[in-house]
Amino acid sequence: MSRRTATVIDLFSGAGGLSLGFRAAGARILAAVDASEPAGRTFRRNFSLLQPRQPPRVFLGDEGNLEDLDLESVAPQAKGPDILVGGPPCQGFSRVGRAKLASLADDPEADDPRNELYLRFVSAARYWQPPAVVMENVPGMLSVRGNNLAEIVAGDLASCGYRVGYALLNAVWYGVPQFRERLFFIGIRGDLGLLPSAPVPTHRVELPSGYLRPPEAITLSLPFMPHFQLEVPLVRAQLTATTTRDAIDDLPRIIDHLSEPRPPGRVEDFRVFRPYDHHPASTFARLMRAWPGLDVPPGVQDHVIRRTPRDFETFRRMEADDRYPEAMRIARERFQEELARRASSGNAPAEGTPGYEELRRSIVPPYPEAKFVDKWRKLNADRPSWTVPAHLSRDAYSHIHYDSDQARAISVREAARLQSFPDAFEFSGNMGDCFTQIGNAVPPVLAWAIAAHVMTQVGFRARWPELHRETATSAQKRRSALPSRARRRPEPARGDDVQGDG
């Protein structure tokens, strides 16, 4: 195996979930590109700490618009990366965005998936010709009005000289405390004589029938559907899934919102430091506190919540896995209890009066149950979380803390933990910006598994986390079993053969 450190360029990098995984595996990040100013600032701040001697170049905001950016300015062709990674914007392929895409059916120009920004990723692969490429997107790409657009993407990458496969991977299989299914494309340059493959799952999960609703259903197999035909044997994972309790139970409790009403108009400072309450009890929590390359913090920042006093008591009474219909039943019960309490003292408002409606609004949420079944949901401490979405930037009611004594939705830092961002990784921007960056990211622990797998396969040294130790052993055994031509190392890096910082 090569002793060289792999170099990486991250396109559509966001806050840096993919890059964080590749850096943890031992790669050096050359550059990152993203149009979001807050996400770019997050990337720049954290990776200047992770690579203090050789910080990556970060193109953000207007200069990070890949539609106009000259790839030569990111890295000269002769000094391109060993691995190109990225997650192009996926709204057009997501389940939420599919209806909008279908509405463009009468406009063939607008409906052409080749107009998507993923083509800039393809152009970069063609320009730099790295030994390997990794691209992430949403499962909705597999079926848009009956068409498998993933085949188009794989074909475009194959036209650049790569053997390409794509797989639906669920983050929970790799130790992330979250059911999060995403589509990953892995390409290996054809002259290396290697076939792409998916990382072997390390964690298993057993769920009761009907636990997840269909849009959130975990795929119980590992389909790897390459552009050419290839079958990958499935290996049963040996470790149990990381639960929500494993992920966030060691974080400081938040209860001040129950006794300290926020004055009207007050904007809470969410850069508040909170020391840890106790030692981490899980392997996952220990990793979140002690991520390779980052300092071990004495506590956390950004561990704050939106204050929504109308609903605190409803949160407290909800059971694990309860959704919005159950929350509405509880809220109506609370309303009737308050009416009875006021009636006992002779000051209950009469039905139909402004006072009656005002009291109802102060206790009962206004959303129709039929349309917002999953708008609220209380986490189950003994199972992984469901998908952490970007729309937590608007409200976090889809992830209500399992601890009824805390009676609240999750904090920014808890969302980061469920996505497997370490505690020392700090997010830039306001609270909404932070939630958006977290929800849009590739979970770093999943990215680490993919990074170590791909780096090992194409001949670079790679570091594996304790969570994936079995994966490392299996990957090395598989590689040693390949014919000599398939084990050929990638060509030396163009430019300096840098060993990196770690």
Q: What beta strand segments (E) does 80-140 contain? A: 83-86, 132-137
Helix (H, G, I), strand (E, B) or coil at 397: coil
Helix (H, G, I), strand (E, B) or coil at 123: helix
Helix (H, G, I), strand (E, B) or coil at 45: helix
239: which strand partners?
A: 203
Catalytic-labelled residue, pool 6, 90, 122, 318 = 90
Residue 434 catalytic?
Answer: no
> How far, in Å, are 114, 189, 228, 244 from residue 151 at the CA level?
12, 18, 10, 35
Q: What angle do CA 162, 167, 170 make, to 5 degrees?
A: 145
Whether 15 contacts 30, CB under 8 Å: no
Residue 130 CB coordination number (10 Å): 26
> How far, in Å, are 17, 168, 209, 462 from residue 205 at the CA level?
23, 16, 12, 27
Whether 168 contacts 223, CB under 8 Å: yes
H-only helix segments in 27-66: 37-50
Whether 381 contacts 244, CB under 8 Å: yes
Pairing of strands 132-137, 181-189: antiparallel
Q: What does the alpha-carbon distance between residue 22 and residue 346 come to, in Å, rounded to a whole number?
A: 66
Q: What torsion do the CA atoms of 268, 273, 274, 279 make, to the nearest 10 degrees? A: 150
Q: What does the alpha-carbon distance between residue 291 and residue 287 come to, in Å, rounded to a whole number?
A: 6
Helix (H, G, I), strand (E, B) or coil at 133: strand
166: which strand partners?
A: 185
Q: What does the alpha-carbon distance between residue 30 and residue 27 come to, in Å, rounded to a whole number?
A: 9
Q: What beta strand segments (E) does 360-472 contain? A: none
What residues act catalytically? 90
